[in-house]
């Protein structure tokens, strides 16, 4: 047999999957590893999908999506961006992941460099690798509340840099960028003539402050990525979108022809109902995540394990660097010794080595018990800051 693709073989395996595979073989595991909403899709959205399916919305659709969802998304973002967005500027995709992958394929040549956050969502690395482009990480440091340092990003820009990816609110850190930071990032992209790919999939999940869409500050170079997965608890429906100029949307349509043809027709009908319909469920879920964020804060902040309080998304980075144990081993030991499944920080990049990510998309009681187990582990392993260790006996 001829060999398989070396590129495919070289793609990193997700540290999250490894933990999940181990956790499945054990009992009494508190799972704080999953990055998806713990709620069901609101009933009116499911009803709309069923109605659409019965009415025959079961066929292929245009590559860039059905007019209904494109129009609904365009109307929503016209309000958010403070300028008219047309349906021709909307690419509807099989989840935000497909939007990002299609955009990368549409803008970058082999060998081009794309700047991505560290820590950041691991899929950026694999989709950039698949496009034979090079992922270059810029640091988001805990000492800065995981906010970007513009000078540090600029230092990594080379003549091959094609795009800058930002993720606001952030997975895994929960940081929400202030307006000034977003403006500075947009200005940096403009100064070096880069595309700014702004992944705003957690845009509706903000607990503190406000979410500032980057496209509000530059209609030309910002490509906004979002979708229904997180806001509406619709991860399995697979609908996301990119908002960019009509030429790039059309080019991505050609790429979609090779990847997925089009997103699912029924799911597009469901997503349209989500975007156009009542938004109460979005707010209810946001409030629940905020309550859980507060719960985690109450437990982990006093013992020094939560140096940065998440202001959005549904994750928290737990700082176990005091233990001097690598993240992958931390995850394995937490599972073996405390039966709690967490994502290793190193799966998001080098900066989060020695940390673990917990997900707030977990029932309150489980989340509280999971935190207690992590504190017990941290104390046993010498990861609690000295001054707080005594207070942490649980």
Ligand X SMILES: Cc1ncc(COP(=O)(O)O)c(C=O)c1O
**Contacts with ligand X, residue ranges (CB under 6 A):** 35, 95-97, 121, 167, 171, 199, 201, 227, 229, 235, 240
* Residue 168 or 181 with smaller CB distance to ligand X: 168
Min dist CB 171 to ligand X, Å, is 4
Nearer to ligand X, 97 or 300 (CB): 97
Least distance in angstroms from the C-beta of 150 to ligand X: 21
The residue among 357 and 373 lying less far from ligand X, judged by its C-beta, is 357
Nearer to ligand X, 63 or 392 (CB): 63
In the complex, minimum distance from the CB of residue 325 to ligand X, in angstroms, rounded to a whole number: 25
Q: Write down the least CB distance from residue 286 to ligand X, Å.
A: 16
Distances (CA, A) of 234 to 12, 75, 240, 266, 384: 26, 20, 10, 13, 37
Long-range contacts of 65-68 (CB under 8 A, 24+ apart): 65/90, 65/91, 65/92, 65/93, 65/241, 65/262, 65/263, 65/268, 66/92, 66/265, 66/268, 66/269, 66/272, 68/268, 68/269, 68/272
CB-wise, 197 or 300, nearer to ligand X?
197
Minimum distance from residue 229 beta carbon to ligand X (Å): 3
HSE, side-chain direction, 13 A CA sphere, residue 12: 17
Q: At its nearest, how many Å lie between ligand X and the CB of residue 167? A: 5
Q: How far apart are CA 309 and CA 94, in angstroms?
A: 32
Residue 361 phi/psi, 5° resolution? -85, 55
216 φ, ψ (degrees, to nearest 5): -65, -25
Rounded to 10 degrees, the C-alpha dihedral 123/127/129/131 comes to -170
Our CB check for ligand X shows the closer of 223 and 325 to be 223
Identify whether the C-beta of residue 137 lies closer than 8 Å to the C-beta of residue 187. Answer: no
Shortest distance, position 333 Cβ to ligand X, whole Å = 25
The least CB distance from residue 377 to ligand X, in Å, is: 26
Q: Which is nearer to ligand X, 304 or 349 (CB)?
A: 349
Question: Alpha helices of the chain — where are they, by DSSP H?
Answer: 6-10, 15-24, 43-54, 67-81, 95-107, 123-130, 150-155, 179-191, 246-259, 265-276, 280-300, 327-338, 364-380, 386-389
Tell me: cis bond preceding 119? Omega within 30 of 0 counts.
Answer: yes
Closer residue to ligand X in complex, CB, 48/92? 92
Which residue of this chain has its Cβ atom nearest to ligand X in the complex?
95
């Amino acid at each position: 047999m001829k060999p398989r693709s070396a590129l495919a073989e070289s793609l990193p395996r997700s540290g999250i999957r490894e933990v999940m595979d181990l956790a499945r073989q054990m009992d009494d595991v508190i799972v704080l590893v999953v990055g998806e909403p713990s709620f069901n899709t609101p009933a009116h959205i499911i009803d709309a999908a069923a109605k659409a399916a019965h009415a025959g919305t079961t066929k292929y659709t245009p590559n860039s999506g059905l007019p209904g969802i494109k129009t609904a998304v365009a109307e929503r973002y016209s309000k958010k961006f403070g300028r008219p967005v047309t349906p021709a500027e909307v690419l509807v995709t099989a989840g935000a992941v497909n939007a990002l992958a299609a955009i990368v394929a549409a803008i970058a040549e082999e060998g081009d460099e794309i700047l991505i956050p560290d820590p950041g969502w691991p899929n950026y690395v694999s989709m950039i690798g698949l496009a034979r482009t090079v992922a270059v990480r810029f640091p988001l440091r805990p000492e800065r509340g995981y906010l970007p340092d513009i000078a540090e990003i600029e230092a990594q820009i080379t003549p091959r840099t094609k795009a800058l990816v930002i993720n606001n609110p952030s997975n895994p850190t929960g940081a929400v960028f202030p307006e000034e930071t977003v403006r500075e990032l947009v200005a940096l992209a403009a100064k070096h003539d880069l595309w700014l790919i702004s992944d705003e999939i957690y845009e509706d999940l903000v607990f503190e402050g406000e979410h500032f869409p980057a496209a509000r500050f530059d209609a030309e170079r910002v490509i906004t990525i979002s979708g229904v997965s997180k806001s509406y608890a619709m991860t399995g429906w697979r609908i996301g979108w990119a908002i960019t100029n009509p030429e790039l949307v059309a080019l991505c349509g050609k790429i979609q022809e090779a990847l997925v043809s089009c997103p699912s027709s029924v799911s597009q009908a469901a997503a349209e109902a989500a975007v156009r319909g009542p938004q109460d469920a979005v707010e209810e879920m946001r409030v629940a995540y905020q309550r859980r964020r507060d719960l985690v804060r109450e437990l982990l902040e006093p013992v020094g394990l939560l140096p940065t309080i998440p202001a959005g998304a549904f994750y928290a980075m737990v700082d176990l660097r005091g233990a001097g144990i690598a993240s992958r081993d931390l995850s394995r030991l937490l599972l073996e010794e405390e039966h709690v499944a967490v994502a290793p920080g190193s799966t998001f990049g080098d900066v989060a080595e020695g940390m673990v990510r917990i997900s707030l998309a977990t029932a309150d009681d489980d989340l509280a018990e999971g935190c207690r187990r992590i504190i017990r582990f941290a104390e046993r392993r010498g990861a609690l800051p000295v001054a707080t260790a005594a207070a942490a006996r649980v």
